[in-house]
A and B are shown apart, each in its own frame.
Chain A
Amino acid sequence: MVDALQRFPEMEPPTGWRTYFSFSTDHKVIGIQYLVTTFFFYMIGGFLAMLIRAELLTPASDFVDPAVYNSLFTIHATIMIFLWIIPALAGFGNYLVPLMIGARDMAFPRLNALSFWLIPPGGILLMSSFFWGAAGAGWTSYPPLSIQDPKIGEAIWISSVAILGTSSIMAALNFFTTILKMRTKGMDLFRMPLFVWSILVASGITLLGTPVLTGAVILLGFDLLVGTSFFNPTGGGNPVVYQHMFWFYSHPAVYIMVLPAMGMISEILPIFARKPIFGYRAIAISSISISVLGFVVWAHHMFTSGTPEWMRMFFMITSMVIAVPTGIKVFSWVATLWGGKIRFTSAMLFALGFVSLFVIGGLSGIVLASVPVNIHVHNTYFVVAHLHYVLFGGSVFAIYSGFYCWFPKMTGRLLNEFWGKIHFFLTFVGFNLCFLPMHTLGLQGMPRRVADYDPQFTNLNVIVSLGGFLLGISTLPFIVNVVWSWSKGKEAGPNPWNALSLEWATSSPPPVENFEKLPVVYAPPYWYGSTLEEVKKAALTGGRVGKHRAGN
């Protein structure tokens, strides 16, 4: 594999902070570019959420114009999905995967750079739509509403989603190839870290699903701008066909957003409990099961769309079944703590928070899977509660945990632990104040996507909004911590956590080509409680280290 420096020795890359604002094909630079850019968009999406919660402090629609309100939640969700969680996890994948598999870079470094450089224009294009009236049909953009006037916001939305989807597909192709073809000597598939497994599986989902979304929004764009009637009933089209195409991608998309997050948790819990991950093989296989099942559950978003009863029953059963591999992961994580020596670092606190909050989201998901109950709670605040418990309590907590764990590797300096704990507590409290009451609001009768609600819901909405504002404030200690620690934090050294995966076997930050000498691997990186000699011996004789049954 030839890299840019080898072919153009006269080109010196910019040094220092300028590196991150210029074109680089180094996966570590690209990874950090992704992470900083997506965090910036997270702040914008979060600001939109603050505006939404300000509106919902009172029952009347009295803070912003009602059409503007619809744009607020539309763009909030679009940012959080396509400009924050999906690319942030791609950023962690970019930084960590080559290191974790003992490679010097990704399979296609220039494609890697391109997939990052599509993000800023996609994001700026979407933000610009506020000047002309941003899209206001929800991130789901159902026709015929999304093809009504005014059209420009929706046209921009479609273009932006197409650009960001393309970025995602390119990154997925890169990860898939890298992981299958560039693992270091000794690293069979079942010796890969679980984070790498999760990126492999999520990339598979991305490759199969995202093109269908692109197709859906292109057809929608034709209906919007050119007068076709794919989904327009006045011309003989069927709006429900859009819903099927949209959700065929958008349901697997949630697994794109949660599997790499779960992969990070499977790395972080063992490090700070000083124990092997419990049930490594089951967790790896459950990721594959989730990705396969994830492609046959989409119509559970459409139980009230005139879907035939037989179809509702099929999708109900598949949606319930997917709880089984998900439960296996949760129970394995809990068992990973058993008999450990838990250190409550900020990374560990966020990882524990993930397990605690994701379980709640998973349980509300099972409630939603049941057709009769879904008929009551569909499109209410119960769904808003569910999705935030899994995407914020789940994915965002995992992303924060990942920041605290791998910032030292990326920058060579530790984040401040005291402020990390403050960050955790403010986030955990703010999150639950904001999203727990939403379950009750939905069950009691409050629909979603409304600026005006029945006054009986006022008290709960005030609590929710206060929780939301607390969440906004909770990001401040994190931002200050990152900015300060990047240049002034305590030096970390190569392995501040005494962890076992390959990224910790090189300097912090790693040299340009990652390793002086490419490593050789004998086991997945969870052999806490054993020595390297024992692990090597077991690998060479076909034995196993450690205990494989609980109990004395």
Chain B
Amino acid sequence: MRVSNTILNKSGFILGGIIILLASFWYGFNNGLMPKEASVQAGLIDTLFNSMMVVATVIFLGVQGMLIYSMIRFRHRGEGDDGDGVPLYGDPGLEIFWTAIPTVLVLWLSIYSFNVSQRIAGSDPSIHHNNQNYIENAPAAALTLPGSRPLVNPLIVKVKAQQFGWSYTYPGAKEEVGELHMPLGREVVLRMQSVDVIHGFWVPDFRMKQDVIPGQTTELRFTPIRVGEYTINCTELCGAYHGVMRSLAVVQEPKAYQAWIKENVK
């Protein structure tokens, strides 16, 4: 008994769709594209990213798959196969479908992203105060967005960016140091200023980035959860040596951190 072409076709597409969905879910959560998760924020961002990778992989495989399928099945078959293809101008049902599904996906991604943004940002990065007293003494809770957690005894470090290096001033210290040390598990708030051009502070393993803009103070907050040494990159073009404007972020056990503070922070 010969199975009709239409049924083979339809079941082929359904099977293909299922394989694409499974492959996308697998790749979404096993892509290995992100570096180590070294902050609370990294965990939240990575799950969002992986979800987006699932959706992106479905669309990617679906579109590339349809292109390749059509290139094979609907190719011109040599001399004699002249004449035109099916005079199909559109299909309202299909067009509504492929307008509605992306709209729903995009709304879901927006809401999910909004949720993650609230949980990682917590403080509004647009704090423009140049008041030195504010920078050193304002309680971090003053900067919290409604709906997010209040900060509990964060470590507030002043960061200075200049062409071409980073320096850090710890609470109560008179001198700057050249490395950013942090104790494991305690929230860090960076209050950043630039003395010349725009720079950008970024630790890939924390996922957190914030431009440092002259004439303003910008703020970045995160909680490190993994002991180790991490690279701080400058991510806003700042001149000839922008590429080497790197610094070291070190996350240590509390005792080791206290020892470092005692030794280095004056």
A interface residues with partner B (beta carbon < 8 Å): 61, 65-67, 70, 136-138, 142, 144-145, 148, 233-234, 237-240, 273-276, 278-282, 304-309, 312-313, 316-317, 320-321, 323-324, 327-328, 330-332, 334-335, 337-344, 352, 355-356, 359-360, 363-364, 366-367, 370-373, 375-376, 378-380, 439-440, 443-445, 447, 449-454, 526-530, 544-552
Question: What are some 8 contacts across the A-B interface (CB < 8 A)?
Answer: A237-B215, A305-B213, A306-B218, A341-B76, A359-B60, A367-B49, A445-B205, A447-B200
A309: chain B residues at CB < 8 Å are: 117, 121, 124-126, 145
Separation in Å of the A350 CB from the closest CB of chain B? 13
Does more than half of chain B's interface fall in helix, strand or loop, or is it mixed?
Answer: mixed
When chains A and B are docked, how far (Å) is the Cα of A550 from the Cα of B85? Answer: 13
Which of B49, B52, B98, B243: most chain A Cβ within 10 A?
B243
Chain A contacts of B70 at CB under 8 A? 334, 337-338, 340, 342
A375 contacts B93, C-beta separation under 8 Å: no
In contact, A359 and B242 (Cβ under 8 angstroms): no
Cβ–Cβ contact A360 & B60, under 8 A:
yes
Binds A, one of B13-21, B103-111, B153-161: B103-111
**Nearest A-chain residue to B217, judged by Cβ:** A306
Residues 94-128 of chain B, each 1 if its beta carbon lies under 8 Å from chain A, else 0: 11001100110011011001101100110011101
Is the pair B145, A449 in contact by a Cβ cutoff of 8 Å? no
Would you call B241 and A233 a contact (CB within 8 A)? no
Output the nearest chain B residue to A308 by Cβ-Cβ distance. Answer: B126
Distance between Cα atoms of A29 and B98 in the complex (Å): 42
Which 3 residue pairs spanning A and B have beta carbons closest together? A233-B215, A529-B87, A450-B243
- Pick from B169-177, B232-240, B247-255 the stretch touching chain A: B232-240
A residues less than 8 Å from B208 (CB atoms): 375-376
Known A360-B60, A440-B33; contact A528-B87, beta-carbon cutoff 8 A? yes
Contact assessment for A342 and B242 in the assembled complex, using a CB-CB cutoff below 8 Å: no
B204 contacts chain A at the CB level, 8 A cutoff = yes
Instruction: Note all chain B residues with C-beta closer than 8 A to A450.
Output: 242-243
Total number of residue pairs linking A and B with CB closer than 8 Å: 295
Chain A's nearest CB lies how many Å from the CB of B72? 9
Q: In angstroms, how far is the closest chain A Cβ from the Cβ of B147?
A: 11
Contact of B56 with A144 in the complex, beta carbons under 8 Å: no
CA of A137 to CA of B207 in the docked complex: distance in angstroms? 25
Given A308-B124, A547-B88, answer yes or no on A359-B63 (Cβ-Cβ < 8 Å). Answer: yes
| Contact partners of A379 in chain B: CB under 8 A | 200, 202, 209, 235-236
Chain A residues whose CB sits within 8 angstroms of the CB of B210 once the complex forms:
304, 306, 375
CB contact under 8 A between A305 and B215, given known A372-B44, A376-B204: no
With most chain B CB atoms within 10 A of its CB, the pick from A309, A335, A363 is A309
Q: Which residues of B contact A316 (CB under 8 A)?
A: 110, 113-114, 117
CB distance from B247 to the nearest CB of A (A): 13
Docked Cα-Cα span, A310 to B3, in Å, equals 58
A171 and B42 CA atoms in complex are apart in Å by 47
| A304 and B63 contact, Cβ closer than 8 Å, known pairs A278-B90, A339-B86, A372-B44 | no
Evaluate contact between B218 and A330: CB separation under 8 angstroms.
Answer: no
Min CB–CB distance A292 → chain B (angstroms):
16
Q: Is the CB of B117 within 8 A of A239?
A: no
A241 to chain B, nearest CB (A): 11
User: Are B60 and A545 closer than 8 Å at their CB atoms?
Assistant: no
CA distance A419 to B193 in the complex (A): 56
A373-B49 contact given A320-B109, A547-B87, CB 8 Å threshold: yes
Given the interface pairs A355-B67, A363-B56, the reply to whether A313 lies near B241 with Cβ below 8 Å is no
Question: Which chain A residues border B6 with CB–CB below 8 Å?
Answer: 552
CA distance A78 to B114 in the complex (A): 34
With most chain B CB atoms within 10 A of its CB, the pick from A145, A321, A447, A544 is A447
Q: Is the CB of B109 within 8 A of A550?
A: no
B89 to chain A, nearest CB (A): 5
**Contact of B74 with A by CB under 8 A:** yes
How many angstroms between the C-alpha atoms of A551 and B88 in the bound complex? 10
Which residues on B sit within 8 Å (CB–CB) of A443? 33-35
CA distance A327 to B34 in the complex (A): 27
Cβ of B74 and Cβ of A144 under 8 Å apart?
Answer: no
Query: How far apart sit A138 and B200, CA to CA, in the bound complex (Å)?
Result: 15
A145 touches B49 (CB 8 A): no
Give the complex CA separation of A412 and B122 in angstroms: 64
B140 at the binding interface (Cβ < 8 Å): no
**Closest partner residue, chain A, to B63 (CB atom):** A359
